[in-house]
Structure 1
Amino acid sequence: MNHIEKQLLTAPRNHLYLSFIAAIVIGLFLWSLTAVNVSNIEEGGLAIARNILYGLTHPDTELLFNVSRQSVLFLLAETLAIAFLGTIVGAFLAVPLAFLAASNLVPKPVSWITRLLLIMIRTLPALVYGLMFIRVTGPGPFAGVLTVGLTSIGMLAKLYVDAIEELDKRVLESMTSVGCSTLDKIRFGVMPQLLSVFASVMIYRFDMNMREASILGLVGAGGIGAPLIFAMRGYKWDQVGSILIGLVVLILIIELLSNQLRAKLVKG
């Protein structure tokens, strides 16, 4: 038995505290069960559930594999383009905001105001931004790109700020001692330390934006969401199955590629 295991075994156990927490969790679980209502499940509902399962397991292969503008492949490509362009827009706009929000680079009032702006950006959900941009630009992929870009700014800037505030200050102090300007310090002292972190965060956000872009179609902001909801409302479960299969395969591929890229950036 090593030293760590001995310390673990000899550590005092607060059984009263653990029992209290367990009682709260069990109580909340039992209280949540009161909201479960199975009496509304009728025979018609079970039949619909069987139709949904059959449609998902027997997808419309023509819709899945043809190359028309209404096909799954085209809609997935449009969704991918919305997520990619939106991520690029959000990543570039988040950089100056992150530097303005970093308390170790700018005065406290400027940092506080910028952080407040970023909190306000993160407050509204993507669907609300999508509805607003549709009113401005009209329905279509462009509104989706603007929505994804704006919603990406809040999260990316926050993670950028965390990376900026963890910089090695000795590099900046040495550059200050030789008379470097603020721009020189950012260009030669800050950015080389941050590029890999920024790229890793941007890849992670792109993975999230793929899911958001697939939902934005529900409000008319382009992508695969609108055909999905129309197929569900029309009870065309074979079309729903083909759309979901294409979406799942695309997201799995992006997940694998993004994990590999982030791993290489961390090693680099």
Structure 2
Amino acid sequence: MKKLRSKWGRWEWMIGIVLIISLYWWSIRGIPLVPIQKSAGQVSASILHGMFNPDWSYIYNGSGEDLVSQLVITLAIAFLGTFISAIISVPFSFLAAQTNSRWFHPRATIGKLLLTAIRAFPEVILAIMFIKAVGPGSFAGVLAVGFHSVGMLGKLFSESIEAMDHRAELAIKATGGTKLQRFWLATLPAILPAFLSATLYRFEISVRSASILGIVGAGGVGTPLMFALQTRDWSKTGVILLGIVLMVILIDGLSSYLRRRLH
């Protein structure tokens, strides 16, 4: 029996390797290989030249259209979208959390399918849809980030609920505690750090997303970046890219620090 298992184990590795190689080969053959345009090198060199020679006057000029103002708007879009989605995600997470060991849980299955359906829409597509509904601007960006974040945060929150330690809750129940007391004294303290950590992590992702949504008209720093690229204003493109990189680095560092303090 052990010999059969060892032989089957070797075959499993070989079958897995063959499947992976076949998948890569199929993926590569499905990509149409087109020649690189002759202007690609010139454009890349121009962007690099713009990054090393940025238009410093665009950083702040008090017009409300400068880089600092656009970065603040981008952060506001990411913060509002994440904050709203964190609140809305809580009931969805309890709906999707499977709290017993049965292989099929109707409530949790419905909740998980609903969150999966929400996550299926990319943020750019959501931004275009909301622009058609409420018009171009930051509000459409907030709605796009918030709607997509509900699906992701709901999934992370539900997994935190499923992984929580129920011993404190059972102890309060054994002493005659009510459901409200069990939730307030045991469940909430157990899941709150994980909820806050997931929300901070999602905020990091939302900042990156909000930086891009302006390209389709959903507000933020993506809008001037699109205009700078279209007009081949490489110096302005360079300073905008530098601003985005610096903002993302600062937000990532701050978020990582806060998440370490929560654990």
| Count of residues paired in the alignment | 254
- Residue in structure 2 matching 1:198, options 183, 186, 195: 195
Letter aligned with residue 262 of structure 1: R
Q: Tell me, yes or no, if the aligned pair for 1:55 and 1:240 is still in contact at 8 Å.
A: yes
Q: Tell me, yes or no, if the aligned pair for 1:66 and 1:73 is still in contact at 8 Å.
A: no
Letter aligned with residue 222 of structure 2: G
Worse-matched range after superposition: 89-98 or 176-185: 176-185
Q: Which residue of 2 is the match for residue 7 of structure 1?
A: none
- Residue in structure 2 matching 1:92, options 87, 91, 109: 87
Question: Which aligned pairs between 1:65-214 and structure 2 lie closer than 5 A?
Answer: 65-104=60-99, 108-214=105-211
SS of the residue aligned with 1:240?
Answer: helix
Letter aligned with residue 93 of structure 1: I
- Residue in structure 1 matching 2:237, options 236, 240, 245: 240
What are the ranges of 5 or more consecutive residues in structure 1 without an aligned counterpart?
1-10
**Shift in alpha-carbon separation, 1:149–1:223, aligned structure 2, 3 A:** same
Identity among equivalent pairs (%)? 37
**Shift in alpha-carbon separation, 1:169–1:223, aligned structure 2, 3 A:** same
Kindly provide the CA deviation profile for residues 45-76 of structure 1, in whole angstroms up to 9, marking residues without a partner as x. 43333222212221111112333211110000
Q: Which residue of 2 is the match for residue 6 of structure 1?
A: none
CA distance in 2 between partners of 1:103 and 1:16 (Å)? 35
Q: Which residue of 1 is the match for residue 37 of structure 2?
A: 41
CA distance in 2 between partners of 1:136 and 1:184 (Å)? 43
Moved over 3 A (4+): 14-41
**Shift in alpha-carbon separation, 1:166–1:62, aligned structure 2, 3 A:** same
1:37 CA displacement: 5.1
Worse-matched range after superposition: 202-211 or 183-192: 183-192
1:229 CA displacement: 1.1
Letter aligned with residue 144 of structure 1: G
1:29 CA displacement: 6.6
Letter aligned with residue 97 of structure 1: F
Q: Which residue of 1 is the match for residue 28 of structure 2?
A: 32
Q: What TM-score do the two structures reach when normalised by structure 2?
A: 0.86
CA distance in 2 between partners of 1:152 and 1:265 (Å)? 21
What are the ranges of 5 or more consecutive residues in structure 2 without an aligned counterpart?
1-5
- Residue in structure 2 matching 1:262, options 252, 259, 262: 259
Q: What TM-score do the two structures reach when normalised by structure 1?
A: 0.84
**Shift in alpha-carbon separation, 1:152–1:38, aligned structure 2, 3 A:** closer
Question: Which aligned pairs between 1:215-254 and structure 2 lie closer than 5 A?
Answer: 215-254=212-251
